[in-house]
Chain A
């Protein structure tokens, strides 16, 4: 059954049983005939029409009883409409929209719908918002669709673990505050890879900290995996990664076929905990190169007890630049597994899009030395050729910054935090920077809310970075409300329905009394 037919059937189930058995198959045939060629999902207008039609059918069925008990009838109608609106599918954005960076992203909204419920289509970017410190401020990973659709990456929220694995109190912290699992957009924005951190539960079994109800199909039955979700269909494919405890997707190959995932034996909270307090933790890991078409997993591990920290594909997809925790940089040729050591340049590689389009430079960040208050670190380059690398660009010039990746032969995109403007809103800007002279111009920005919700973990789809185009932001669409909120709204409607019932019944009684008296 097609997704379109399934959507129509779901809506037709809202009709009264008698109507359904008489009409549903006939209506389905007409709906499918009337749908334009290529339509893949129910449109918002069709949903409204069928919900209204179903409510109308319930009303006419209630007609006779309604004459006797107007209150109950009115209440039933109210309730049916409320419930129908609660379960009807949302509108489906146009998947064919252009993939330029919007000149502004939408702000935080607790009412944003989910990818799982209404996929947004190919995305231009994803980022994390919300600190969990305030009401209606739960951390979200937001996927920004090319067509202006914003959706919460519910898969990442469900797979999200605690960042601080060490503190027991922290682990018992309200699960709703959990950080979403790390995620990486494919170059064309059509898919997203989502990692996971497993922690050891009291009975010794690996178990991710989950938000809300556990969905058993979100992680493999046993062991570690990385999940890849199609943003047009919502379909999730999981790739098993063996016995590790932490999977971090860091880079997609430029053709979108291979996915590089850092696999560690310990989650970050334990890995970065001081060795003298946690001497027994296995801090080693390996790099998994997952062929997302065939599902084959290739294990890259240049040496024993390796502690990989980041990885980026070369422009031709044949090599990977990898860096370990000590900062040692090397390149791995995938065909023969050969490793070339590049020493310890003074930078930490930007995962994903670090490799310049001409293959000559690697992009990274140099941390502040702390020696000088003005030193906030800088954006640094390592040369893979005999030519000298461009000078390091101090981040204080742009505001607190993070490098995103290359946008051209000698230009990069960075994010930079900007203080409150006249409207009192702080923003994270996306800047395009010329690496030769450090000159920058703003291409987009993500607003925070009231200064307390800053966007982080920004990931822009590789193709969007490379095309380097910016367009006026399309009209935003936050999708249907999250299911829980819709159910609350339906419950409120039910309470209202009860009030309507009492008022209606009382009015009917007094009307009959008056008629009888007259």
Chain B
């Protein structure tokens, strides 16, 4: 009978053995209780080590790490010359790209399939690297007119404009966030969304002026807007055409 080395058994439990060796070892395990015990010992260790760190995945994500992906926040708090070097760069360089990182943050795990975005109810899904409006947000973008919307509507529409890509885009405000979405290929694509505390006035009345938008949204709008924002009449006409731009 072949004597199997510990390294072979380790490779076996790591699924690194080729098919022939795996089959030979499996056959030997079936005949040899002592060998089976050695394999079990390796397998248990692998399982125990993996299990020991598994709960970390479920821990709440520290805000400073989320901030780091958005280019915000300082260097790590702990004393370290090595690490401190990197913090300064952060503030220096990242202001300009913070807006799109916000989007990246929200897309989160849903890169390859449609996935609800955590904390946004069913209103946003991530799909193929894009953030798409769904549910109440999509309905509001499609139907609601800034000039005639209830002041207590869950989604408040702000400015509507035509982008330099020739699409209709609209700013919107949710309870704790505001953003910009553009209509293309049947979906409202959320170009940017940023947190915004109390975007409504205390009395529930809310009126979105460009000045009230978070900087990330405002900057994206300034980049995209072609001409002026639509007035109430043009907004209504565009809505009635289903946000497609006829000639």
A and B held together in a complex: no
Which residues of chain A have a CB within 8 Å of any CB of chain B?
Answer: none
